[in-house]
Amino acid sequence: MSTFKVALFTGNYNHIRDGVSLTLNRLVGFLLENDVEVLVIGPTIDEPALKHNGELVAVPSKRLPGRPEYRFSTSFPEEVKQKVEAFKPDLVHIATPDFLGYKAMKWAQSKNLPIVSSYHTHFPSYLKYYKLSILEPILWKYLRWFYKNCEQVYVPTPSMASYLEEHKIDSELLIWARGIEMSRFNPEKRSEEWRKQKGFKEEDVVITFVSRLVWEKNLNIYVDVLKKLMAKHKNIKALVVGDGPAGDEVKKMLPEGVYTGFLKGEELSVSYASSDVFFFPSDTETFGNVTLEAMASGLPCVVADAVGSKSLVNHEKNGFLAPVTDSDSFYNYIERLAMDSELRKKMAETSIEKAKEYSWENINGNLLGYYKQVLS
């Protein structure tokens, strides 16, 4: 017997494996285990990237121009609407403020159903990478309207909540962080054998980037900084874990780097733990799952001083924060860590302790509590 029912509308659930899809699948799995029925509505493809949790009702979608691995929903068809109505949700959770999200909101309002939302993708920060900054005021105007119609909005970090408040998003903003499996990501996964296979020597300091290879992850800075460091210090090496549309160009720009392609499971865990410093200059994260995974794996982290990352990295404690465009600051911090093994060790210990605060059980338990508040 279920306690209540949730209709979850999302632009991304199983067609690509990224932070959003993994987070939402984990949430649905948790809700089902806790007697909450869930119906997921979103786009899909013939051969999904992951085996999804729960029941997914597909809506029509098209490839995103310039980013064909992503899809955008084009409608909320009548037959899908009927399935959602037959499900009789008590609560509507809209994870993406896209066209489907807009249509879902209008439908939920017509049925007098409570609406909540979660902020997963920092869309305004993406615009500059596509030379569309001129659209930012229009996007913020739409987001203000959209979130105003939600009873609660779940954001991953306090810094992201502050950022949204600065942009006049005045809904009730509540923290729904991201979690980590410490059994999966930890320093014991370090493997000298794995390092050797990748061409690293024992004395090498491996500076690692883990993410999808897209320009909005600020890949240019990673390449620029590593090129300079590797030219000066023979023991500094670049490791890039991930794949994506920018992959071929990055390899041309930094041919000395080691590229693993997309990794998952045990090999992903080993790649983090077998590194020495995590370098992630992206400013488009709402949270930064990869940074948390690196912390749990025992790495000092050098990241952009931007919403998302700065809630995880305490400057000069478990790593360093640098202005997103300041290549020299990133260079200096990484060089400092590369040259000082004691500092790396000390910051690694702090990273591990901080990562322990993020257990999935607590985090998704908080969200379930928020749902119950809305329903009561």
pLDDT per position as a tens digit, 150-202: 999 999 888 889 889 998 898 899 999 888 989 999 999 999 999 999 999 99
Give the contacts of 85 (CB within 8 A, at least 6 positions apart). Answer: 111
Cα 302 from Cα 314, distance rounded (Å): 10
Type of residue found at 253: M
Crossing angle, helix 19-33 and helix 360-375, to 10 degrees? 70
Sorted by where each starts, the structural domains of the chain and their CATH numbers stand as 4-179+359-375 (3.40.50.2000), 187-355 (3.40.50.2000)
Q: In the predicted model, what is the mean pLDDT of the chain?
A: 92
pLDDT > 90: what percent of the chain? 77
Q: What integer pLDDT is reported at residue 114 of this predicted model? A: 98
State yes or no: pLDDT of 120 exceeds 80: no
Rounded alpha-carbon distances, angstroms, from residue 162 to 31, 159, 308: 28, 5, 11
